[in-house]
Structure 1
Amino acid sequence: MPHVMQTTAATPIAFVKSIVQAYQQRGMDASIALQQAQIAPALLHNPAARVTALQFEALSSAAMQELDDEALGWFSRRLPWGSYGMLARASISAPNLGVALKRWCRHHGLLVDDITLTLTVSGHSATLSVTENRPLAAALREFCLVSVLRNFSGLACWLVDSRMALTGARFAFAAPPHSAAYSVLFKAPALFNQAQTAIEFDASYLALPLRRDEAALRQMLKRALPLTVLQYRRDRLLVQRVRQALASQPQALHSADDLAALLAMSPRTLHRQLKDEGASLQALKDEVRQALAADLLLRTQRPIKQVAQAAGFQSEKSFMRAFKGWTGLSAAEFRASGPSDLKANLSQAQGAAALKKV
């Protein structure tokens, strides 16, 4: 008896039908590939049906090799088996993720002219957009655009060995009947009927150094498809993202529930991942409050009570107690020191503490 693949069935049957359509475009039969993936042909007639990630991986792998097309019929020219591995190899020597992804976009354009991938940065946000240079086959268009975005984000996560949290996903087509699956596919708010297909994420990820080498690439290419569904536990930018969220509204209470919702994760996951990074929510709150309070004391003449309120303290007394614990000085003594060696020493201490936490 064949082994039964046991994972949650979340992949829409519409994507399976797209692969079957690719076979039909080539005058070929998908029956063997469906059988290898343990997908009953009857499911193709049920729009609400789902298959597991393992089933879809098996089907995609068989189809790419049988059709000798890693793009599965999306484009006007085939991408022979090994094409995406070649693109990854061209990117892996980059000094950071931003350069690697720019290379990926440029080299993808050398293989395919049906679409253009463009990586742009605006402020703190990075966007990978897909421009359709010619009409894609209607039966394959959604599958193509979704796959291109997931391939891109999956490779990015693998290159830096980190979760890369998306802040948004936009699609230049109407919401499909299975639109609810997009929250699983992208872990971000999805908008349909948009002018262009794109994903957005924190631009700070682009500065991360690559953590993979040629040996890791060879190993990955033996089974690359799971990259599109793998959810990395570690987010190497989570501490920075939490700091930014805390600093954006220093007077807010910033409960774990509120921050977790803002960062699109559960409170339990937030605490666990911060612990993995050697940090805690309370320590980050203290760090942000301390930096803000020190800045206000040295740069302004605000009364200490106003400084306490701006730093998010409910009372001047609690602020004074906390500040003395942070610096060993009262707020008045710290202010009297002025922007002198004391400030430089405090900055060094904060930097050393931050390095220990990350």
Structure 2
Amino acid sequence: MRYSKGNGVTSEDKASITPNIALALTQVLSENGIAPARMLARFGLAVSDLEDPSFRLSHRQTGGMIAHAISLLPALPLGLLVGGKQTVSSLGMVGFAMMTSATFGEAIAHCLKYHKEGGTMVDIDFTATEQECTAVFSNPGDSAITAFLVEEVTAHLMNIGQAMLGTRALLQRMEFQYPAPPYAAHYRQLFNCPMQFSAPRNCIVVDASLFAVPLATHNPLAQRQALEHLQRMAMRDPDTPDLIESIESAFRRNWASPPNMAEIAGSLNLTERTLRRHLDQCGMSFQQIRAQMQERRARNLLETRQLTQSEIAEQLGFTDVRSFRRAFKAWTGETPGDYRSNHSASNYQ
């Protein structure tokens, strides 16, 4: 793990990527006889983390998973398979905003604006004329996985276009900067259009008339709700280090008996001393992370569940309810009972 002294974490280590690609990758691995849990364990993660709506990965983590998967299955069109697993609904709220758009062009505009919130790892540059529209894809990260990322995004967009427009004849042509892979026939079968490898850029070109096609799923109110949610997502703090996300995920998997620092260090293939040094560089301590996780979980349980304080204390790994009450009062300035009275979900029904 790379952390820069004095500047916190590097951009590669910021946990800002919705794990859609990683989740689809685990499905492809499983279908080809490889246990996803073993790959994820290399990064201190589990499949349940990828299914958590609030969980985010870093470029370093996601790129490492992709590179490892390529090494395990080098003969497969891995990016095409992963992209083929995904539909418009795989983009979550981004996909919902697209489906509720008035036209296909409006849907693509929302996709271009919020595609990073949907988990896309490439940069997209879009241009349009009266005749055709062009999307150019570039990978600002590890060039070794560029082909995978281009395969993934183009196969995913192909699925989206087919679902929304009900036609397979979407693309006028495609260009790829990299040489034709051994499985180039899969490209031709999937995309069904002229294509050029070893080209100056990675791009797809479509007929501009497709962007005026109306969508039967248009709903202006639902779209407005989706866009407001996406705006809030876009303002999410992107500076959380992936190391802290990994530690938090370990706590989420076992609230009642949370792992200690040595156990988490071992799961991350680090020594306890090295883990402590990385946390110092992030401006955090192990105890702070654990306390923040316990506080967030305690607030949630008090607001939404009818558990006794003793039951909550047990769920959070406290030895007794008095220790929990003291900790909660230190975190919030309120007793657990007062907090529940003031913030219970039933108050807002």
TM-score interval for Structure 1 and Structure 2 normalised by the shorter chain: 0.3 to 0.5
TM-score (norm 2): 0.39
Q: Which has the higher contact order (CA 8 A, sep 6+)?
A: 2
TM-score (norm 1): 0.38
Larger radius of gyration: 1
